[in-house]
Structure 1
Amino acid sequence: MFSRILRLICFSTVLIGFGYEAVAQDQALQDYIAQGLKNNQGIKQQGLLLERNMYALKEAKTFFLPEVNFSTSYLDSRGGRKISIPIGDLLNPVYSSLNALTNSTAFPQVENVNQTFNPRNYYDAKFRTSLPIYNAEITYNTKIRKEQINFQQAEVDVYKRELVKEIKLAYYACLQADEAIRILESAVSLARENVRFNQTLVKNDKAIRTVVSRSENELIGLQAKWEDAKNQAENANAYLNFLVNNSLDTKVNLQKRDQLIVEADSSAAGRREELLKLESLYKINNLSGQLAKAAAMPRLATFIDLGSQGEFVKFNGDTRYYLFGVTLDWRVFASNRTQYKAKQAQLESQATGEQISQVEQQLQLQAQTASNRLKSAVQIFQAARSQTALSQQYYQDQQKLYREGQLLYIELLDAQNRLIGDQLQQSISYLNVQTRSAELERAKASYVFSN
Structure 2
Amino acid sequence: MRTLFICVVALLSSLFAARAQSTSLDGYLQEGLANNLVLKEKNLSLQRALNAMQVAKSLYLPAIDLDVLYSHAQGGRSIELPIGDLLNPVYNTLNTLTASQAFPQINNETINFLPQNYYDAKVRTTMPILQTDIAYNKQIKEAGVRLQENEVEIYKRELVREIKSAYYRYLTAMQIKAIYESSLELAEEGRRVNQKLLDAGTGLPAYVIRAQSEIASIEAQMADADKNIKNAGIYFNVLLNRPADAAILPDAVLQNDQLWSLESWATLDASRREELQSLETGIAVQEAIVKMNKQYLIPKISGFFDLGSQAEGLQFNDDSRYFMVGLTMKMPIFQGNRNKLKIQEAKIDLAASQNKKAQAEQQLTMAVDLAKNELLAAFKNLEKTKVQLEAAATYQRLIQKGFSAGVNTYIETIDARSQYTSAKLAETVSKLQILSALTKLERESATFQMPQ
With structure 2 as the length reference, what TM-score do the two structures score? 0.91
- Give the structure 2 partner of residue 332 of structure 1: 333
- Give the structure 1 partner of residue 433 of structure 2: 432
What letter matches 2:291 in structure 1?
A: Q
Secondary structure of 1:124's aligned partner: strand
- Give the structure 1 partner of residue 56 of structure 2: 60
What letter matches 2:377 in structure 1?
A: S
1:147 aligns with 2:146: no
8 Å contact kept, 1:296–1:338? no
CA distance in 2, matches of 1:29, 1:18: 28
Deviation at 1:324, TM superposition (A): 1.2
* Corresponding residue to 1:261 among 258, 275, 281: 258
Counterparts in 2 of 1:413 and 1:18: CA distance versus 1, 3 Å: farther
Consecutive unaligned residues of structure 2, counting only runs of 5 or more, are none
1:91 aligns with 2:92: no
CA distance in 2, matches of 1:213, 1:135: 92
What letter matches 1:252 in structure 2?
A: I
Counterparts in 2 of 1:18 and 1:230: CA distance versus 1, 3 Å: farther
Q: Where do residues 27-426 of structure 1 align in structure 2 (5 Å cutoff)?
A: 27-256=23-252, 257-259=254-256, 261-262=258-259, 264=263, 269=269, 271-426=272-427
Deviation at 1:259, TM superposition (A): 4.8
Secondary structure of 2:407's aligned partner: coil
Deviation at 1:360, TM superposition (A): 0.6
What letter matches 1:50 in structure 2?
A: L
What letter matches 1:435 in structure 2?
A: S
Deviation at 1:265, TM superposition (A): 7.2
Deviation at 1:244, TM superposition (A): 2.5
**Which piece of structure 1 moves more, 71-80 or 24-33?**
24-33
Deviation at 1:204, TM superposition (A): 1.9
What letter matches 1:216 in structure 2?
A: Q
CA distance in 2, matches of 1:265, 1:75: 82
With structure 1 as the length reference, what TM-score do the two structures score? 0.91
**Which piece of structure 1 moves more, 269-278 or 374-383?**
269-278
The runs of 4+ residues in structure 1 deviating greater than 4 Å are 17-22, 263-270
Secondary structure of 2:185's aligned partner: helix
Deviation at 1:195, TM superposition (A): 0.7
Number of residues of Structure 1 aligned to a counterpart in Structure 2: 435
CA distance in 1, matches of 2:451, 2:264: 17
**Which piece of structure 1 moves more, 154-163 or 394-403?**
394-403
Deviation at 1:313, TM superposition (A): 2.5
What letter matches 1:95 in structure 2?
A: Y
CA distance in 1, matches of 2:415, 2:285: 66
8 Å contact kept, 2:4–2:264? no
CA distance in 2, matches of 1:409, 1:341: 85
Consecutive unaligned residues of structure 1, counting only runs of 5 or more, are 1-16
8 Å contact kept, 1:304–1:324? yes
Identity of aligned residues (%): 35
CA distance in 1, matches of 2:332, 2:407: 103
Alpha-carbon deviations, 1:395-445, whole Å to 9, x = none? 222222223333333332222222211211111111001111111111111
Secondary structure of 1:109's aligned partner: coil
Secondary structure of 2:59's aligned partner: helix
